[in-house]
Amino acid sequence: MLPDLVRTAAALLATSAACTVLSGAVTCSAGCPLPPFEPATTADLVHGAASIAAVASCVFAMVALAWSPTTPRALRRLSVVAAAVALPLSAAVGIAMLVLGRGPVVALVERVLLLEAAVWVLLGGVLVGTGRARARTQEVRNYVGT
């Protein structure tokens, strides 16, 4: 049995993947218009909401792994750094969208955030795949009380 925060991170990553598929399956209008500055279709809203939910779920998974005491040390360090970068970038995107609307500033910050999330997933996968992110069995057992 996985500790709660690790299970939560897994569920968040699954949600992120599902929302990414939905975002890719629903085509938005030219320029991906979003309110409040531009009129949007239902498809635009679904695409935008799914994209936001995908990135938010990924960032929350970073935070969950960073906070879990049973996350393997290498993955935990990676998640702490990734969350420390992703949270301010996420806030910057949200504020810029409200203040500036869609434009080059938002586009640049969004792409940096997406790149950072992709690098976190890739490096996390490498750590897990190479065995560098194996949890100490006894440490996990002590934590869950088994």
Q: What is the 3-state secondary structure of the chain?
A: CCCHHHHHHHHHHHHHHHHHHHHHHCCCCCCCCCCCCCCCCHHHHHHHHHHHHHHHHHHHHHHHHHHCCCCCHHHHHHHHHHHHHHHHHHHHHHHHHHHCCCCHHHHHHHHHHHHHHHHHHHHHHHHHHCCCCCCCHHHHHHHHCC
CB 66 within 8 A of CB 76: yes
The pLDDT of 139-144, averaged and rounded, is: 54
Amino acid making up residue 9 = A
Flag whether pLDDT at 142 surpasses 70. no
Nearest to 34 by CA among 89, 87, 103: 103
Predicted pLDDT of residue 49: 93
pLDDT digits (tens, 9 = 90+) for 55-104: 999 999 999 999 988 888 899 999 999 999 999 999 999 999 888 877 89
